[in-house]
A = this chain, B = another copy of it.
C-alpha cells in the first residue's frame, strides 16, 4: 500500500469548477495506483466571510467560539469534493479534524498537532475509499474544536503524511513550484525540481513564501517528502526532500530577498559581558522578532552592535533601544529603514569554497555596497541599500548560473513552461 497525501489550498477549491478540477486530479492519482488522502482548506473567501460575521459581534471575538465558526469552512469544502468524487465514480468519504481525530493542544487559533489516530483512515483506504480530511483544524483531549492558524492546512497535510508514512505529500498551490528566485524581478528564474528541506527553510525565512514554515519544519523533522505543485498547470513542481540524492548537489539552490527589514546599530558599546542581553531583553519582552544580529570584534574596549527587525516593528524597536542607551553607556544610535536582505541558499555551499567571494565580487562589480554580512552553513545573507535589491538578485542569479539550463536536472519528470 503506497499512500499519497494531496493538499489543495483555498484558491484551488474556490469554486465548484475548481472543486471539479481538484476531483479530477485526485481521481487520476487514485487510478495511478495510489491510496489517496486529500487535505483541504476552506473555499477562498469563506474564511473572510466568517471573520467578518464574528467581528461584527466583537472586534476580538472569543477565541474558542471563533474556532467553532472558522472550522466550518473546511467542513464545507471536504463535503463538496467528496460529492464530486462520488459522482465521478471514485468512492470518497470526508472527515473533520474531530472525527479522525487530529488531536491538538488547547491554544485556540494557533493550536499545534500532537497526534493523529490513523485507524479510521487506514480502514477506509483498505476499503478502496479516497479519504478527504478537513485541514487547519483539530480537537483537544477535552473535545474542544481548535484551529491551527492561517495556512495550517499545510501542517495538517504533513502531519498526516508522517502519521500514515506516506510516499509523498503533494501541496497544490497557485504557483508552479519553488523557484531559483522571484520571477517578478528575475525573468530567467527557474523552477527547482528538487530542494532540501533545510534549503527550503532558509528560503522561507528569507522571504520566499510558498509554504508555511511550520509545515516544512514538520516535514523535515519527520522525513516527509513534500512536493509543491500547481493546481492549474500540469507541471511536476518541486520536490522538497531530506533524503539523500545520488546526483551531485549544485552549489546554490536559490536566491531570496526581503525588503521588509530595517537595521539598528548601537555604536560605542562598552565591550563587557551582559551588554547584549540588556539590549535584546526589552526587545524580546515586546515580542519583536529580531532577524540578523552582528557584533564584530571590538576596539578600545568598545564595540558596535547591529541587528535587523521587521520594518513594521522598526519604530517601536528604536524607542526601546533609545531608553537603554544611557544604562549600557553606549555612544550613538544609528538606524536605517531603507535596507534589503539578499540571501544565497544551497546545501552545496558546505563543501564548496569560493561562494562568498563570488557573491561579494559580483555585487562589487555592480557598484553595490555591502552593509552587513551574516552566514550559516547553507546560507549567506547580505544587507544592501534597498534600491539595489533587484539589480543584486539578478546579477547573482546570473553569476551562479541559475538563469539557464545549467541548473542540473535532478529528476526525469517533464519540466514545462514557467508561469510567473
B94/A65 in contact, CB under 8 A: yes
B65/A99 in contact, CB under 8 A: no
A50/B76 in contact, CB under 8 A: yes
User: Which residues in B have their C-beta under 8 angstroms from that of A99?
Assistant: 98, 143, 145
A75/B71 in contact, CB under 8 A: yes
Binary CB contact string for chain A from 53 to 76 against chain B (1 if under 8 A, 0 otherwise): 110111001101110110110011
A68 to B, closest residue via Cβ:
B79
A20/B83 in contact, CB under 8 A: no
Please judge, given known A-B contacts A69-B75, A76-B69, whether A83 and B98 are in contact too, CB under 8 Å: no
User: Which residues in B have their C-beta under 8 angstroms from that of A98?
Assistant: 98-99
A80 close to chain B: CB less than 8 A: yes
Binary CB contact string for chain A from 82 to 98 against chain B (1 if under 8 A, 0 otherwise): 11101100000110101
A120 shortest CB reach to chain B, Å: 8
A65/B53 in contact, CB under 8 A: no
User: Which residues in B have their C-beta under 8 angstroms from that of A66?
Assistant: 79, 83
Please judge, given known A-B contacts A64-B93, A65-B94, A93-B64, whether A83 and B71 are in contact too, CB under 8 Å: no
User: Which residues in B have their C-beta under 8 angstroms from that of A384?
Assistant: none
A16 close to chain B: CB less than 8 A: yes
Task: Pull 13 A–B residue pairs with CB atoms less than 8 Å apart, ordered by A.
Answer: A16-B56, A16-B57, A50-B76, A61-B87, A62-B82, A62-B87, A65-B82, A65-B86, A65-B94, A66-B83, A69-B80, A75-B75, A99-B143
